[in-house]
Structures are given as structure tokens and as C-alpha cells.
Structure 1
Amino acid sequence: MKKIIYLFIGVGLIAGLTFWAMNLETKSKATDISLIAFAVEDTASVDKIEIFDSFYNQQFTLTRNKQGKWEGPDHMCVQQEIPNMMLETMYKITLKGYVPQSAMKNMKKLLMAQHKEVKIYQKGKWVKTWYVGHSTRDHMGTHMLLKTPEMESDNPVIMGMKGFYGILEPRFFADARKFECTNLFSYKRTELKEIEVINRVYPQDSYKVTIGKDNYTVSSNGTILNNVNKDNLTYYLNGFENIHYNQANYTFSPFQVDSIKAHKADYELNIKGTSSSYHLKMYRRPDPDTPQTGDSIIYDVNYLWGIKQDGDIVRIQYYTVGPLIEGKLVFIEN
């Protein structure tokens, strides 16, 4: 009888240990999966992204408004393709591999010293934080850590993105200048009332176009010009839509910007529309690829510095604004 009792006890212990081991294995697998669950399946519900760059000590917050458009702080206009790129990364991110145990301590130290912290919110609630670190040696993976309300990973893993070959770190940044919308102005021809170009490099090429309801007047330095090609003038006036700058200022200090503003602009573009006006100052810049010797300056033929109406200085492609300040070459017949 005792043997039977011992047998039942033994079987019970074995069954209990087996169940415990299986349960432990299941929990371990669940934990392992949760440590690499970076992906966000429902990116449509992501309504806020907070980014902190530990190297530059910069922070930027993106918020999706009621119309579904992304904005920066204080309703700042941001380029929509940037947060959309981040959402794509959140959806397509995938595990590339694990960090070898021998390198784990050093990799974690490097990642904590320099990383991009990306906090992801869905419907107003924080759901995940990514710590985006440095790339692998082959530049095909990115060392990352994950934190959620339920858990926090201690060990970096190597992440990639489906259909993408490269590193993920450049897809996240906190420099407000990189997010800012690049539009300067946009006027349809029917919205224009007056265009004035002041050219201090070649003053004889200054001009003013005044547009009436059924007519127009073109003058240069106070003299009315009659040799105007109307078709070419119409073509010129059609060129004021969707004008953008090329790049924010990454070159000048605030002191240098003030010094530039203290000088008269090489070109000025004054636009009067039916409901708004725009004033753009432009300065030639020395060609950065040409050694400057002697008293003469070789100017860049590709870019100008522009002062926006809000006072910020930006880099503008001559390809963009050149046709707007060289109108006489377009619509004046010699």
C-alpha cells in the first residue's frame, strides 16, 4: 500500500515539476519576445512622438492634430514626410540579430552614452520607448533597447527594417531646423498686384511690375518700359507658386547673422498680393569650393542667403529664385 502511495506522490511531483518547467519556459519565451517587440502595428493611432538626442542635448515633440496633420511645438509647421518616415520605421522594424554576450556590456555602455530616445504615444497614452544607438560594423543594423509600461530591456539587440538596407539612427533626430517647413511663399498669377525687384549688383536690372484688372505696367528705375512681351510676362508671373528654400542655417552664429542683416541686400524681392505681401532679402555668398585670393570675391552661382520675413536666414537655390529676380531677361524685348 505504501509503495502505491509513494508511486502516486512521485507521479504527482513529476507532473508538477513538468508543468512548472513548461510554464517557466512559456513565460521565458514571452519575455524574450516582449524584449524585441519594437514594432507598432497600428501606426494610424500614433498621435505623439517625443525625440531626445543625448549627444546634442536636443528635444523635439511631434503631435498629430485633429485634422491628422503633424505639428511641432506651438503648432509649428513641419514637413509631413518626416513623421511619416518615422511611422514607416515603427511599422517595418524587425530583429536582425543579438549582441554577443562578450560584447554586451560594452555595447550597452556605448548606447547609454549616445542615443536617440524615441517615446511613442497612441491615443494619448505612452506605449513604447526606443533607445536608438549606433550602427553595426557593416552598417546593416542598429543597436537598440526597448522600454514599455510593462517591462524594460537591459540588453541591446540589433534591429533593422523590412525592405531597407542600412541604419535606422538617421531616421530620428531632434533638430527643429530639420523639421521646419521650407515654404517661403506661394502666389497664383491672379493673386498678384505688384512685383518689385531691387538689384544692387546690377541696378539697371531693377524693375517693378504693377498688375491691374485688365492691364499691367512695367518700369525700371522710374522709367516706364514699353517693349514688354505680354506672353513672356504671363509666363514670368506664373512662376511665383510654391517657392521653397533649400536648407536652414547651419553655418552662421547669431552674431554673424546680425552682421549680415546690417548690410544692404544684394537683391530684394517685394511681392504684393490681393490678401498678403512678402518681402525677401537675398545676399550672394562666396563660393565655398573656390579659394578666395586678393580683393576679388568669387561668388557661389548655385546658392544665395535669404532673410525670411520672420528674420531667419536660410539657404536658397539660385535655380529657384533666379527666374524671379531676372524677369527683365524674360519679358523685355531688346
Structure 2
Amino acid sequence: MKKKISILTILILILSILIYFILSKNNFFKSEDINQNKDLTKIILSNKSICEKCPNGVKEVQLEKKGKKWYVNNKYNANINQINILLETIKKMTIKRPVGVNERSNILKRLDTQRTKVELIKNSDTIKTILVGGNTADQLGTYMIIKDSLNNEPYVFHIDGFNGYLNSRFSCEESNWIDKTIFNISKKEISKIELNYLDDNNKSFWIEKSNSSKIILKTNNEILTKIDSSFSLNYFKNFEKIYCEKILNNNSNFNVKDIIKRRPFFEIKITLESDSILLLKGIRKNSSERGRTMNSKYDTERFYGYIDSTLLLIQYQKFDKILMSLNDFLIEN
């Protein structure tokens, strides 16, 4: 009798190992289901945790593809790198282990109340739904349920070769998905730049590349001739990969309309070779009551930027090579 029990135990163990091995190699997503940005048209991430200020009481982010571009909640350009990371995560994640008998009940309760629901949509069809829960105690796996797979049972998922958890990649925070690019313009795309300092017009200038690749520098409609041509030409290179720190929206302590009513301290207008125009207004940020700039009237590290009806928080250091003054372009006598 004991021998039969031992054989049965061994067989069950072998069968369990085989099932686990097979499942751990299955990523549940066919290449035709998720083909990096080509098939999916929408991704909806919603968190069941209570959010009193959110529509329907839950946090939700909709990432939608229109043409070749992705958008966040139909308002902002999406950060394509973040979307690629999300899709790559879904394609590569595999089962690390089943959920233990003793933890199953607790994990199911948490997945019911605190999970993030991820819906992958192609046209109008939901091709896959994932419930993403918390992380394991060792922070090396994440509890998930793949709907309509594995009897809707929870499993611990991970990515082979990656030592970390996955649930932070399924964020429901709108700001985490927005493209924070202010300018990403190459030198050859720019035709003309006008930088006006509203508090000190003597610093303002107007710089243009002529058809002969010569630089024309103006101030108060006067063309200046004693200019540093090399410095002036290189100035057009300073508008690539310029990012803001944050996209700002209304909250209980902050009103966007109040900020944009303030007088800007600079305005920069960039005319492209295509005749498109980009206009950014810089607005001073009042100093906070605490922090390194508390003794200054204005924050010396950050300012507000207003472009395309969007208010941004920008670090001055990102604009070090943009906020030049007229004298920077002139040859000293």
C-alpha cells in the first residue's frame, strides 16, 4: 500500500513538473495578436482602487492609435517608448510559478479589489484581458489572471532574465503615458527663430537662415553684421530632444487658467522650413515656501511653459542653450 502511494506521489510530482514546464514556456499571446504597434488599436488600463476625483470612481487611461500615432485619453500625444515597453512586456512575460494553495484565497481577494485591468483591443474586438495584481514578497514576480486562459486562475508572472516585478509597467496614471517632448527639431528643419524677452527687450533677437546658408540676425528690425557666424549657426542645433518635467492639469490647489493669465517673461517662435510655426510662452513660477529657492521671489530651477494649449513644468537647465540673449551672438569689439 505504501509502495503504491509512493509511486502515485512520484507520478503526480512528475506530472506537475511537466505541466509547469509547458506553461512556463507559453506566453499566451500569438504574434498575430500583438505585433508591436501594428495590430492593436486601443489599450485600456483601469484600476479598481477607489479614486474619488476620477470618472466612475476609478482611474482609467485609454491609449488609442490613430493612423501611425498613439494618443492618451484622446488629448495628448503618447510616449511611444512607454507603449513599446508595455507591449514588449506582455509578449515576453511567462509563468514563473502557480499560486500556492495557502495564498490562493488571499491573492484572489486582492485581485478582485486592487487589481489593474488591461484590455487589448483590435478595432472593436477585445483580443485579450489581463488582471494585474500585486507583486510577490521577493519582488521578482507579479500576480496575474489571464482571462479565458488557465481556467481564470491566478499565476505568478515574470520575464525570463529580468530580476524585478512587472505591475509598475501597467500604470493607470495619465501622466506616465504622455509624451513630454517640447521640441525635437533638427537644425535643417528650422528656418527662423524669434526670441522675445518681455521684461528686457534689449536681449531679444530674431535669427534666420537665408537661402545662401548665411545667418541674418536682427533686433528692433535692425540687421546686425558683427555676429559670430559659427555660434549663430550652431544655435539652430539646440532644439533637439528638449523635454518638460511634467504636464500640468487642474487640481484642488492648482488652476491652469490662473497660470496662463500671467504675463510671460519670454516668448519663442520657431518657424520651420515647412512654414509651420511653434510658439512657446515662458511664465515664471512663484517660489515655494520650502526648498532651495524659498528665499527668492521666483523659482530659479523651474518655470511654466505654455504651448499648444498645454501647460508644462520645465527645468531651466533644459533651456540653457535656448534662452540666449542678443549679446551672445555678437562679436566683441
Instruction: Calculate the TM-score normalised by the size of structure 1.
Output: 0.74
Q: Does 1:51 align with 2:36?
A: no
Overall identity of the aligned pairs, in %: 21
Task: Give the equivalent residue in structure 2 for 1:249.
Answer: 248
**1:184 matched to 2:177:** no
Secondary structure at 1:227 match in 2: coil
Q: Which has the higher helix share?
A: 1
Q: Deviations over 1:183-216 (max 9, x none)?
A: 3345444554432212245543222224443454
In structure 2, the CA distance between the partners of 1:104 and 1:35, relative to structure 1 (3 Å rule), is farther
Equivalent residues of 1:236, 1:331 under 8 A apart: no
The alignment covers a number of residue pairs equal to 302
Structure 2 CA distance, aligned partners of 1:144 and 1:256? 38
RMSD: 3.7
In structure 1, list runs of 5 or more residues that go unmatched: 1-21
CA distance in 2, matches of 1:192, 1:66: 26
Amino acid at match of 1:62: L
Matched to 2:29, the amino acid is V
How far off its partner does 1:89 sit?
1.2
Cα separation, partners in 2 of 1:250 and 1:300, compared to 1, 3 Å: farther
8 Å Cα contact 1:35-1:153 kept in structure 2 = no
Partners of 1:35 and 1:242 lie apart in 2 by: 40
Aligned to 1:198: 196
Check the 8 A contact 1:59/1:174 in 2, yes or no: yes
3-state secondary structure, aligned to 1:54: strand
- Equivalent in the alignment of 2:130: 130
Partner secondary structure for residue 61 of structure 1: strand
Evaluate the alpha carbon distance shift between residue 104 and residue 258 of structure 1 in structure 2; reply closer, same or farther with a 3 A threshold.
same
Secondary structure in structure 1 of the residue aligned to 2:40: strand
Structure label with greater radius of gyration: 1
Q: Secondary structure at the match of 1:89?
A: helix
Secondary structure at 2:144's aligned position in 1? strand
| CA distance, structure 1, for counterparts of residue 73 and residue 258 of structure 2 | 29
Q: Secondary structure at the match of 2:256?
A: helix
Measured at CA, do residues 137 and 62 of structure 1 come closer, stay the same or move farther in structure 2, by a change above 3 Å?
A: same
Change (3 A) 1:126 1:36: farther
| Distance in 2 of aligned mates of 1:195 and 1:31 | 62
Deviations 1:96-115 (A, max 9, x none): 33333333222222222111
Question: Counterparts of 1:47-196 in structure 2 under 5 Å?
Answer: 47-48=40-41, 49-55=43-49, 56=51, 57-63=58-64, 70-72=70-72, 74=74, 77-121=77-121, 125-148=125-148, 152-154=151-153, 156-196=154-194
Residues 1:312 and 2:310 aligned together:
yes
